[in-house]
């Protein structure tokens, strides 16, 4: 067994374990089921990498991995809006990932390239193809969705943090932005230092997602403890 499948499977087990613990251990956390589902999706992507490297079903597991990480920004924004009781039409939140997921499920040539390396996985799909204006626009819309939703969720949390006077609640409000930073910053540093890793972007990002998961777990515990006292 090469190094990457071992890391992927171990990370998936840790994230799925946290997904089970949060709603069971911290029932007073207001977004416990949201957090649990986030953990499940992170673990599912890691497991799809493991299965990609250890089976001959690249088409299946690349699709499953794509489904998992495509839902993460929408679910993260949905969780943030729910936590702060901000009403928004969920149709618009899940519209873009749903369109891309249906397209990925329906097409017969989804996989462009799939390789299992020593550490990361190269998994290029049809949406990373920018050979024409149409495919470039398709890639741009997906990229804009991914990063804008994460950014909006972070900005909502930071804005609430700046208005909050309770020190304990301030720590909770910084959980999502800090978790996002811990996952994203090392990823982008690696890609800047090693541009070739751009093709392994989802793989690189999700290897650092364990830091995201641990931070979300800590935030769930803090929120549970604060709500229990109240």
Higher pLDDT, 168 or 205: 168
- The pLDDT of residue 200 is above 70: no
Tokens of 183: 């996952």
Tokens of 156: 């909502």
Q: How far apart are the first and last CA of the chain?
A: 50
Neighbours of 167 (CB within 10 A): 7
Tokens of 177: 């932005």
68-82, 133-147, 171-185, 197-211, range with the lowest pLDDT: 197-211
Neighbours of 211 (CB within 10 A): 18
Quote the pTM value: 0.89
The string over 17-31, giving b where at least 16 C-beta atoms fall within 10 Å of a residue's C-beta and e elsewhere, is ebbebbbeebeebbb
Contact 8, 65 (CB under 8 A): no
Digit-coded pLDDT (tens) for 6-50: 778 888 999 999 999 999 999 999 999 999 999 999 999 889 988
What is the per-residue pLDDT for 137?
92
Per CATH, the number for 3-225 is 1.20.1070.10
C-alpha–C-alpha distance, residues 155 and 161, integer Å: 10
The SS3 of residue 46 is helix
Contact 15, 43 (CB under 8 A): yes
229: pLDDT confidence band, cut at 50, 70 and 90?
confident
Task: Scan for tokens 């497991």, then name that residue.
Answer: 47
C-alpha–C-alpha distance, residues 217 and 110, integer Å: 34
DSSP secondary structure, 106-132, as one string:
H-S--EEEEEE-SS-EEEEEGGG--SS
* The Cα angle at residue 78 between residues 105 and 111, in degrees rounded to 5: 20
What is the per-residue pLDDT for 130?
79
Contact 58, 222 (CB under 8 A): no
Torsion of CA 74, 78, 80, 81, to 10 degrees: 130
């Amino acid at each position: 067994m090469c190094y990457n499948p071992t890391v992927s499977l171990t990370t998936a087990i840790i994230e799925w374990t946290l997904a089970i613990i949060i709603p069971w251990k911290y029932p007073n956390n207001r977004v416990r089921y949201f957090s649990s589902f986030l953990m499940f999706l992170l673990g599912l992507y890691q497991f799809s990498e493991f299965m990609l490297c250890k089976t001959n079903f690249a088409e299946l597991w690349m699709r499953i991995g794509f489904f998992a990480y495509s839902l993460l920004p929408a679910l993260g924004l949905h969780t943030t809006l729910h936590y702060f009781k901000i009403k928004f039409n969920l149709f618009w939140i899940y519209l873009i990932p749903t369109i891309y997921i249906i397209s990925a499920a329906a097409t017969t040539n989804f996989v462009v390239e799939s390789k299992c390396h020593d550490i990361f996985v190269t998994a290029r799909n049809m949406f990373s193809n920018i050979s024409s204006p149409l495919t470039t626009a398709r890639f741009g819309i997906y990229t804009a969705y991914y990063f804008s939703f994460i950014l909006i969720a972070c900005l909502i949390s930071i804005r609430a943090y700046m208005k909050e006077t309770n020190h304990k609640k301030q720590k909770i409000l910084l959980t999502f932005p800090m978790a996002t930073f811990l996952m994203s910053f090392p990823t982008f540093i690696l890609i800047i230092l090693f541009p070739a890793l751009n093709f392994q972007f989802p793989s690189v990002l999700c290897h650092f997602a364990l830091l995201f998961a641990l931070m979300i777990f800590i935030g769930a515990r803090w929120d549970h403890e604060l709500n229990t006292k109240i």
